[in-house]
Structures are given as C-alpha cells and as structure tokens.
Amino acid sequence: MIEETKEKDEVQFDEQHLRQLLENHETDNFREEFLALHPYDQAQFYEKVEPDIRQIIYQYLSPKEMADIFEAIELDDDEYKGILEEMDTTYAAQMLAAMYTDDAVDVLNELDKDQISHFLKIMDKDSAQEIKELLYYEEYTAGSIMTTEYVAIPENSTVRSAMTILRNAAPDAETIYYLFVVDDSNHLTGVVSLRDLIIAEEDTLIRQIMNDRVVSVSVTDDQEAVAQIMKDYNFLAVPVINSKNEMLGIITVDDIIDVIDEEASDDYSKLAGVSDMVTFDKSPFAAAKKRLPWLVVLLFLGMLTANLVDLFTGTLEKVAVLAAFIPLIGGTSGNSGTQALAVAVRGIATGDVEDESKMKLLLREAITGIITGVVCGVIAFGIVFFWKHMWLLGALVGAAICCSIFVATIAGSFIPLLMHRLKIDPAVASGPFITTLNDITSILIYLGIATMFISKLM
C-alpha cells in the first residue's frame, strides 16, 4: 500500500500519453493537457524526453510558456549550455527575457561571455538592461540571487492608490505578499504586508500603516548570511539595498531554498572528500575525475602513516601482538574526530558559534574527549585483559585509546574553527582529512607508549 502511494506521488502525469500527442502532432490537445500541469511536472516531462521530442515542444509552446518550465527545471550547471543550443537563438533569448531576472541570470552565468553577449543583444532593451545589472554582481552574493520584479509603493500614497499600483505590478512581480515602501529618492523606508493593506481604510496613508523597522540585506552580503536571516525571521522575501539605503531588489524564499540546498550539497561534498557531488546519471569517468584529486592527496597523507609505522618496526617485531590493535585505535580516534568535526562545522554553518563561544566549544569538546576517552579506554583494557591475559598490554591499549580520543576530539573541533578564522571554508577540514590526521597521531601515541614499555611487554 505504501509503495503504491509513493508511486502515485512520484508520477503526476501520463508521460506516454503526452509523448503520443506530440508524435501525432495533436497541438491543441497537447497544449491543453500539458499547460494544465504544475510547472514542476512540466519540467519533469521536459527533462525526460529526447532532444527530437523537445524540438516539437519548442514549436508548440511560446517562449513565455517555456520560461515557466525553465524556472522549475533542475539541471546540472553544465547542462544548460547544451539545452540552449538545441533552441533557435531568438526563441532562447525571448525565453530568457520572459523569465524572472534572477532565474535568467542563473542560467546565463553558466554560459561563455560571448554567448551571454549574443543573447543580450537579441533581447529587448529593458530585459537586457535588468539582466546586465544583476550579472555585474559577484557570484554567491545577495546581488547575484536577487530579483528586480517587486512591488514598491511611495510612502506618501494612500491605500487606494497603493492597491492600484499593486494591481498593475502584480502580474510581473515575483511575490506580492510584501510591499516595500520607498521615498522620492527610492530609499527603503518601510514595508507593508498584503494583509495590512487589505484591512486598512482606503484613505489611510501608507506611512501610517507601514512597519519602519525593516530588516534588509546589503547587495554585497554572502548568500549564506542572507539564508540565515530569512531562516531566523521566517521571511518570504527580504529587501536588498546598497550602501545608500536605496532599494535594489528582493530575495524570495524559493531562491533561498536553492541556496540552502546548494550550500548543503557543497559542504557534504567536502566532508565526504569530493570536490563536487556527481549525480547518478554521470559516467564513471566523470565521477572518477571528481574524486581522484582528493584521493591522491589522501594517498600521500596516508604514506605518512605508513612511514610512521615503519619507524616502529623494531617494536612491532619484538611484540607482534601490538599490530593487532593498530586498526582499533586508529578507527576509534578517527570516529571521535569526525564527530567533533561535524559539531563544529554545523555550529559555524548555522552561526551558533560566535567569537565569544568558541572557547566554550573547545572546552566542552575537551571535557567530552576526556570522558569518552576514559570510558572507551577502560572498556578496551577489560577486553584485552580477558582476551590476552596481559594486564600491561590491556593498560597500554586502553591508555592509547584514551589519549587518541582526547587528541582527536580537540583536533576535530579546533581545525574547523581555525579555518573559519582564516576565511577558509571549514568543510574543507573533511572527514577523510581528520581521519588521516588522527591515524598519524594515534599510531604515534600507541607505538610511542609501547616503545617506552617494550622491555616489560616482552
């Protein structure tokens, strides 16, 4: 029953029927059924069909209708170029012009400069100018993801005139739930919700009902900081201003969801030791190309571990049983370090780790490392003692695990904080790097202590 429900949820349209309508060139029937679908379902169908079927779709849909599909489409960055090359150049330019400005900019950012220039020349001047303004802003900033399709109301207008402005602007605005109030110089002075506008008397001045405590973001703010603000305040949209407090655009919640998804995917890629996540439909060669650089770096780091073990060959030859516990100690310290790393990276990403709480985080992780180290060390001592009947070997393994967990926990929390301080993405301190580092320190601790007590162990 659950599987049937899941299947129904995933398939919201009859793909084969739509294909049949296209192949039979039943234009009116196809348009009626296809345009009745949600834009997401339209995009899903568009992504699934072959290029020759898409060519028929371009004939049946206007650039504006195609723009709605492109705004809902989920393509990899390197796929946009190929899709646009399928279309007639004029058709593609008209489609980009019909999209919301921020979405059009996202697509154009994946193209070459010559292609961008060519599309802008074909577009109407107003659309091209709006897109050029957003292309100017640095990638991953508020300016690069904002849209200029918003509703602005003069602060000296009445509710009646504001409703007239809203009716005229609503068809092209990305959202109308917030109406932003500006003065004669386009300075942001307040915000009015759609609800407040509807319930107010028609002759009431906008400045009397507006909220003048507006939370805004600067056009140069990082997109992650914008996402955090919208999350904290539960906004559907946030205004974007410049250094002069002039209203430039808005960022809507759908764009922030994309940012959160993008940043989460990026952080997860780095934590997994992958330069960039590869989707399942990519070839093995493409996947290998993404993973190899990190694996090669980790390979060289791993050689340090092998070299370190080689330094203690004499100790291992005298007491061979010591080698049996190297994977145990290295794995346990690596797991502990990865746990601390995850806590630190998440705290930095969510903004919970501020300057005044970093020392608290390190102190808490240090105490946590001592507690977990002692408990695991005592358990390891008991297991080794009852297994090998050698109390000294058990004490050695237990002490090594205790010290290794403590050091790994400190390293797992300190390294991300240090990288954040140096303006480096903390996620670069990925799990594989922490694990390799902890392998080195744990082996040094374990075999170092063993060498000190080698005579008694023999």
Asked if the structure places residue 18 within a domain, the reply is: yes
168 and 19 in a common domain: no
443 and 361 in a common domain: yes
Strands (E), 108-216: 152-154, 178-182, 188-193
The domain tally of the chain equals 3
Asked if the structure places residue 265 within a domain, the reply is: no
Q: pLDDT tens digits, residue range 434-453?
A: 777 888 888 888 888 888 87
Q: Residue 189 and residue 47: Cα distance in Å, rounded?
A: 44
160 and 130 in a common domain: no
| β 217-218/237-241 pair status | parallel
pLDDT value at position 450? 83
175 and 129 in a common domain: no
pLDDT value at position 1? 39
225 and 311 in a common domain: no
Q: Which CATH number is 230's domain given? A: 3.10.580.10
| β 217-218/188-193 pair status | unpaired
117 and 55 in a common domain: yes
116 and 86 in a common domain: yes
Q: Residue 68 and residue 241: Cα distance in Å, rounded?
A: 28
250 and 108 in a common domain: no
Q: Which candidate, 208, 185, 213, 189, places its Cα nearest to that of 197?
A: 208
Asked if the structure places residue 277 within a domain, the reply is: no
Asked if the structure places residue 260 within a domain, the reply is: no
Q: Residue 161 and residue 157: Cα distance in Å, rounded?
A: 6
Last residue of a domain, one of 104, 138, 172: 138
Last residue of a domain, one of 138, 172, 192: 138
Which portions of the chain are predicted below pLDDT 50?
1-11, 278, 280
Strands (E), 165-222: 178-182, 188-193, 217-218
Task: Determine if the pTM surpasses 0.75.
Answer: no
Find tokens 């992650």 and name the residue. 224
Q: What's the DSSP call for residue 317?
A: H
162 and 132 in a common domain: no
Q: What is the dihedral of CA 86, 91, 97, 101, to 10 degrees?
A: -20
Asked if the structure places residue 423 within a domain, the reply is: yes
| β 152-154/178-182 pair status | parallel
Last residue of a domain, one of 106, 138, 170: 138
Asked if the structure places residue 147 within a domain, the reply is: no
pLDDT value at position 136? 87
446 and 379 in a common domain: yes
Count Cβ atoms within 10 A of the Cβ of residue 192 and give its class: 0-12 exposed, 13-18 middle, 19 or more buried: buried
pLDDT value at position 45? 93
360 and 213 in a common domain: no
Find tokens 């904290």 and name the residue. 232
pLDDT value at position 268? 58
Which tokens go with 241?
């201003």
Q: Which CATH number is 361's domain given? A: 1.10.357.20
Q: Which CATH number is 76's domain given? A: 1.25.60.10
Q: Residue 101 and residue 174: Cα distance in Å, rounded?
A: 10
Asked if the structure places residue 261 within a domain, the reply is: no
Asked if the structure places residue 203 within a domain, the reply is: yes
pLDDT value at position 291? 67
Give the structural domain span for 105.
Answer: 10-138
288 and 339 in a common domain: yes
Contact 367, 409 (CB under 8 A): no
